């Protein structure tokens, strides 16, 4: 019965947003409260759970999204994004620009958390779309596909990194297999799937796309690339340190602090303020006005992300995820396929790829030990399932919708379907690789 209540709650959420035209934040709060009551949570506990969901979801993202928005704003307002876009267009040509963005997303996504990579690279997508006269979603799909795949499949991202020791896998082997599995998934969900949006109607986007400037007024290419890639390089340095190794010296501890995503974004913003702002004649009060504008632009996104967190928390605290996994454990399947399925169902129900991956891993760890299935491949199978069919209960869904100015239907047909392609192609590649290796 509780699974029906989950389905009813998600259906209600969609109706409130699409038919009743309720603001998504309000729709999430109302749906989450009703879901909590239907799932048997005491009424007196529901407000606390909603607050916990708001805080736990926004806490890790608030600083990163706001600083990332400010960073993107100065990169755009200074003309740096325009310069970088021009260089990429000249290097790859308009016909191959989606492949360039796919590669960019993969390289940047290796060391960066998904949300950081998103807010860093979306301004670049908008600038290229503006200069090349192409729909932003057509350019965005390959970038988002590669960022999502690195987040779900590859160390040093949280879920894959945590799963490696749970299954007795090896970090290097998992990473190697992960690149093999990720490649076809990126190609299918990236440039090939993006062709469906080649003729989409361009939407106005002003947040990170100021009017084009004469080339003589733009910052130098070296300055633009060095400043824009600074946060990527800083976090990449931390990826060189094996996960789980405790800092042995004050220097290592300092390195861990300096390569924390929040600290990196703050340092990057300070650098950009100088190299792209004040050193090029932009007054500091003007720079601060741009930053204030950027925060206003992402306020709605922050509310929606927080709202998605309330529904996730209600579903987690109600214990529905445990019921789902117990139900699926009795199905006689290949362990890799079973791990993928459990992660996929939890992902669709709860929204969080990390929660889905780690929950499924906890269930499948005894199965891996009992059956002798390859632990490295189990990490990737669960990673593929954890990315399946992101929809209205996932913050990534709403970030894509709001940044790219899409309707709910358009987001389902682009972002959700893209994630579905990633999940299905991922498990197919894992099963093929398993057959080849064993």
For 377-401, the three-class secondary structure string (H helix, E strand, C coil) is: HHHHHHHHHCCCCCCCCCHHHHHHH
Quote the pLDDT of residue 258.
82
Measuring CA to CA, which residue among 302, 313, 315 is closest to residue 9? 315
Does the pLDDT of residue 327 top 70, yes or no?
no
Q: Is the peptide bond before 73 cis (omega within 30 degrees of 0)?
A: no
Which pTM value belongs to this model? 0.70
194-209 residue pLDDT tens: 999 988 876 655 555 5
Over residues 239-280, the pLDDT tens digits come to 555 545 455 566 667 777 887 778 888 999 999 999 999 999
Give the whole-number percent of the chain exceeding pLDDT 90. 30
Range with the poorest average pLDDT among 159-163, 189-193, 419-423:
159-163
How high is the pLDDT of residue 434? 94
Domain range for 120 is 2-437
Q: What is the pLDDT of residue 12?
A: 86
Q: How many domains does the chain have?
A: 1
Cβ within 8 Å of residue 437, ≥6 positions away: 374, 377
């Amino acid at each position: 019965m509780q699974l029906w209540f989950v389905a009813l709650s998600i259906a209600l959420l969609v109706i409130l947003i699409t038919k009743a035209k309720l603001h998504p934040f309000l729709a999430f709060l109302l749906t989450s409260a009703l879901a909590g009551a239907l799932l048997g949570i005491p009424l007196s506990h529901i407000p606390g759970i909603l607050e916990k969901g708001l805080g736990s979801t926004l806490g890790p993202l608030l600083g990163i999204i706001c600083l990332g928005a400010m960073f993107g704003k100065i990169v755009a307002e200074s003309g740096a994004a325009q310069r970088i876009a021009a260089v990429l267009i000249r290097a790859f040509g308009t016909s191959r620009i989606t492949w360039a963005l796919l590669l960019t997303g993969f390289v940047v996504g290796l060391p960066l958390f998904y949300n950081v990579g998103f807010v860093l690279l979306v301004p670049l997508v908008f600038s290229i779309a503006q200069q090349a006269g192409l729909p932003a979603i057509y350019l965005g799909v390959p970038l988002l596909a590669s960022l999502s795949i690195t987040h779900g499949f590859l160390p040093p991202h949280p879920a894959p990194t945590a799963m490696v020791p749970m299954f007795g896998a090896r970090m290097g082997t998992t990473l190697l297999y992960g690149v093999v599995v990720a490649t076809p998934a990126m190609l299918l969900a990236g440039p090939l799937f993006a062709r469906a949006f080649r003729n989409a109607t361009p939407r106005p986007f002003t947040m990170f796309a100021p009017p084009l400037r004469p080339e003589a007024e733009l910052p130098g290419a070296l300055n633009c690339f060095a400043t824009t890639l600074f946060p990527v390089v800083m976090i990449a340095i931390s990826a060189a340190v094996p996960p789980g190794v405790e800092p042995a010296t004050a220097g290592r501890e300092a390195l861990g602090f300096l390569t924390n995503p929040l600290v990196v974004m703050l340092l990057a913003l300070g650098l950009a303020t100088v190299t792209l702002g004040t050193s090029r004649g932009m007054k500091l009060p003007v720079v601060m006005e741009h930053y204030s504008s950027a925060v206003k632009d992402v306020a709605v996104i922050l509310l929606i992300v927080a709202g998605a967190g309330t529904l996730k928390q209600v579903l987690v605290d109600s214990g529905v995820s445990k019921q789902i996994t117990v139900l699926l454990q009795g199905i006689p399947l290949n362990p890799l396929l079973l791990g993928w399925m459990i992660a996929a169902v939890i992902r669709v129900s709860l929204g969080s790829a990390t929660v889905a991956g780690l929950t499924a891993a906890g269930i499948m760890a005894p199965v891996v030990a009992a059956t002798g299935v390859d632990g490295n491949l189990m990490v990737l199978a669960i990673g593929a399932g954890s990315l399946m069919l992101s929809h209205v209960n996932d913050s990534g869904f709403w970030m894509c919708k709001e940044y790219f100015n899409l309707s709910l239907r358009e987001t389902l047909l682009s972002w959700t379907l893209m994630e579905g392609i990633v999940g299905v192609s991922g498990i197919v590649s894992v099963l093929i690789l398993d057959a080849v290796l064993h």
